[in-house]
Structure 1
């Protein structure tokens, strides 16, 4: 029905209701009297009531309401329109007849309210009870009987095309137990999820508490995991507040939701001061970390953002994404370059004169670098040296190196080269005007080198999921959090620091695999887990600081400065100068000896294997 036809119909219905109300009122009070003895007063009262009703109805937008969604707010609007129109009609009676028929007006007001309210709420009654509903809806349990849970339940009840039908709540607030919300009972707390699902034959569970921390989500999910019901979750509170999504846009629980630690809260003011209106260059801008750093930086409106990377497809992808959202806000520039190309890197640094450089370009795959140590050195050590020295030469304000927890007591080539990269920037920091810092963090969920994509592929193929060892643990963080940490570290830099994030408790890889299997809708027995053994260069557990670096200063909530020792510059210089003459085995040996402070072995290797 068009708006004009709907408006005409409502005006006609309201007019008939108004006339019926006032005539019935007179008749009820004067049943034996000819109503025509009131002809002029009755006609005037009727005309006044109709006119003022329509005026107040228009004023309170009663003709613009979607009445199938009517609630208390609409009822208040009706109450105001009816009350004011009856009051004005009484005043008209007083002017004309020097008397007010109070009892008539009271009955008129009551009938008026009942009939107008009834006519409007009949739309909702029809929607809720008489429209044809889907009969194959899935029984749904809502975890959380607060504001968000109530909104979810209301949305599901109102949406007749939805596949889900709420049948119960659970909530840890005992005051809500045995109560009903929207006609739906609150049956118990989270610990009773398994029993409730079995008793009511629940198909779906929706976690409807947007402010939950990751540990709480993990606890609830473990209870949900004891059932066969599919578990979903409403969006995060931050996304709801920013209007990115609505409360009824459920999503599957992701492994990131179960990471048992809270994200670091950032000092937005200091970040804004260091980035807004500045020229920022990001190396490795097409990678998982680099591209997210670019997204985070974009929120602070730099003057220029230079995306530097070696892979044209990845740089093109992040460029298109950022231009779609920020093209009118600041200048986005792209450069295809290899950080091993020293001349090109120096040329670009001179060309753009960046205020801040985030160096995320690196080879990170442990087994591949173990087999190709010379390539790890060329990229992670010499590439870092090129970018850092170019930053020093052209007066960059801050240089932030993205490092790794694998740089601590490294047992593999990749970790050793990252420690060498830290040593390069620490050496430069001693005399440079540029503030050089490094940031260490653990494994990043969802990055290209993460185990998550591998596990997902194995699950999709029917399994088994391969885990190196049942006791192997790692620290984990999400890509956005890792990127925010890097940006925050840039604001804290004084020069020469190695920043370390307090990453909470390490996570067993096998537990991560089990969670991913159940999140994918399978049981552990269906997919299976196979232990493949520890690969060359891998450790059972990672560290964020070694024994010499334990003395640490807390400079920001959950961010520390590790006292990473700087090797003798001659040791670092010797390796860089003689690298091209070393064999693969010598490269690997020297990397690990230096990174692990094996001074005697370093001297022996230098004297016996390679001429100084």
Structure 2
């Protein structure tokens, strides 16, 4: 009966609800005046005289007018806030003064204690009914919302609790704080627990999920935190970072799965922003592969260092359109004043690269354009070599010809003792730049080598997340496969940092800590999404992990260094590799042979040349190029020696 009455009132129009509020206040204020007189005269059957009746009615009408002026009837009762207390208090004080003034003007007996008693009664009745109705309406939907526990009792956590309380999906049940002083206390009406008692909090409060709202500046042992959260029986999610909230790109109650850096269980690498800014501020900068995962993040970070020009060089029309639109928005909102130029083109076209660099007076190039998906490059050998080796060579030669000051190559840990074409081609690209660094000194070439980038195209994290949401199975190539991981922002920061530190021909690598076992990463994601792994010992689990076997060119372990004696740099987490390099005349000869082999579409010759180039390339299987295997039945035959004869010049294929 009560619920149906509330539902009926909630369905009324706004004018009808306001009319009900006015009538209700009229009755309550009249009752408050009568109660004040009756209490003063100690007579429960007190009845006003004519003058007292008119003064009382006039006071009530004036009070209603004051409430209208104070905006009390514009407030939606179910969302009414504590600020309404002030409006009601001011209105009631004004009403009490009105009663005194009207009693004096009309020579009516109004004892001095009556306005005080009336004011107290009026405030309790008017405020109490409103907040009582708010509580009833909220309680009706409160029980239908999922209860959540918030990790973090700082400003972000309190903002989240407030936002969730106003929403329709979740209801905050309590906080988990890493600050010992907050333990066993109350924030508002919500209890605060220590991190070690989070299991107990979930059981006692009946929480259906855990939301992380830790302050960006709060020192946290991420590894320990993730270890505890991973063992919970409910999903663990997070809210946007403070930078996203300030930029207006997200709201505090935008709940989403854990950030990728949280899954790593380690603190991100921080760059030396002063050094990076010095190398970028006011410069003309070009980023190749600007629409890719790394390239686009590079562009975002470079933009905030305020170069004079930022040239986006990309062969994919849609990717270029998307990143230009995003950067234009950031540039305008933050008033950075950077001149943005979106240019379509491929790095394998030397003349296009040179024309673009010359047109915009480019001073620094960040070369992120590459084919990086191991199986795809393994199945498309010639295109992989063309893009990764000759694309780098043509872009570098264009940089030298146009007087570019710095050229930074984004490399990969797969270039260390590679077992696949992608890694071999990236190592060959490193050798090309090292050779060019020896040949001239006007353009400073440096390379940045890092592990797998979480969240990039082809990354396992989005793949695993989609597989888990679809009910599994989660596919892992091998139970023992391990990888080094970085987030996209970390990788981009390292590239910018190295670009400012390079002197010529260096290979920079990051101290990335311990490598991550892919199967363990999959299990961690399953557990953090509130599910259980299905195994022989636990056949009733939710998600199964299936091992599919290593793909062509894939190896179990990745490395970051070829040598064993890295050199430190000005940044404590960045090292400089000491590795073998080739003289330019050797590199030039190899490039000539690779050109001829590519023009003849001789995949066997290309693979042999990559091995001959002292890249450390050791393929772990047969040639897997799809076209080559389909159209050449003599894969094992010795390649034509004429293909390997040195040709003059390198043409754009």
- The one-character-per-residue Cα deviations of 1:74-115 (angstroms, maximum 9, x if unpaired) are 324433443355357657878998999542232122112112
**Which of 109, 114, 122 is equivalent to 1:112?**
122
Alignment of 1:165-176 (within 5 A): 170-171=176-177
Contact 1:18/1:50 (<8 A) preserved: no
Aligned partners of 1:296, 1:142: CA distance in 2, in Å? Answer: 31
Who is 1:591 aligned against? 613
Aligned to 2:563: 546
- Number of aligned pairs? 589
Candidates 491, 494, 497, aligned match of 1:485: 494
Q: 5+ residue gaps in structure 1?
A: 597-608
Structure 2-normalised TM-score? Answer: 0.74
Matching residue within 348, 358, 362 for 1:354: 362
Question: Against the structure 1 CA distance between its residues 102 and 441, is the aligned structure 2 distance closer, same or farther, given a 3 Å change threshold?
Answer: farther
Say which SS state the counterpart of residue 538 (structure 1) adopts.
coil
3-state DSSP of counterpart to 1:554: coil
The match for 1:603 is none
Q: Does 1:451 align with 2:460?
A: yes
Q: What's the CA shift for 1:204?
A: 3.3
Q: In the alignment, what sits opposite 1:572?
A: 587
How far apart are 1:260 and its partner, in Å? 1.8
Instruction: Report Cα offsets for 1:108-162 as digits up to 9, x if no partner.
Output: 2211211221232233133134x4x487655544445555555555555555x53
Q: Secondary structure at the match of 1:547?
A: coil
Equivalent pair of 1:518/1:524 in contact (CA under 8 Å): no
SS at 1:437's partner residue?
strand
Change (3 A) 1:200 1:68: closer
2:525 equivalent to 1:516: yes
> 1:69 & 1:261 partners in 2: Cα distance?
41
Contact 2:260–2:455 at 8 Å: present in 1 too?
no
Q: Aligned to 2:84, which of 74, 80, 87?
A: 74
* Deviation of 1:476 (Å): 0.8
Q: List alignment gaps of at least 5 residues for structure 2.
A: 1-11, 536-542, 598-604, 619-642, 647-653
**Structure 1 residues 312 and 49 mapped into 2: Cα distance closer, same or farther (>3 Å)?**
closer
Q: How far apart, CA to CA, are the structure 2 residues paired with 1:117 and 1:464? A: 56
- Of structures 1 and 2, the one scoring higher in RCO (CA 8 A, sep 6+) is 2
**Cα deviation code 1:360-393 (max 9, x no counterpart):** 1123234555676655443323221211221222
Q: Distance in 2 between matches of 1:515 and 1:16?
A: 61
Q: CA deviation at 1:547?
A: 2.7
For residue 404 of structure 1, report the CA deviation from its aligned partner: 2.1
Indicate if the aligned counterparts of 2:229 and 2:528 stay in contact, CA closer than 8 A: no
The equivalent residue for 2:627 is: none
The answer as to whether partners of 1:498 and 1:562 remain within 8 angstroms in 2 is yes
Contact 2:211 2:237 in 1 (8 A): yes
Structure 1 contact 143–206 (Cα < 8 Å) conserved: yes
TM-score (norm 1): 0.78
Distance in 1, matches of 2:82 and 2:528, equals: 40
1:310 aligns with 2:318: no
Q: CA RMSD in A?
A: 4.5
For residues 163 and 136 of structure 2, the distance between their equivalents in structure 1, rounded to whole angstroms, comes to: 16
Q: Deviations over 1:495-527 (max 9, x none)?
A: 555443332332122212322344564514241
Q: Aligned partners of 1:493 and 1:174: how far apart in 2?
A: 45
Offset from partner CA, 1:291-329 (integer Å, 9 cap, x none):
333344455666654332334454455455556776897
| CA distance 1:113–1:411, shift in 2 (3 Å) | same
For 1:34 and 1:528, locate their aligned partners in 2 and report how far apart those are by CA, in whole Å: 82
Aligned pair partner of 2:40 in 29, 43, 50: 29
Partner of 2:478: 468
Q: Match of 2:36, SS?
A: helix
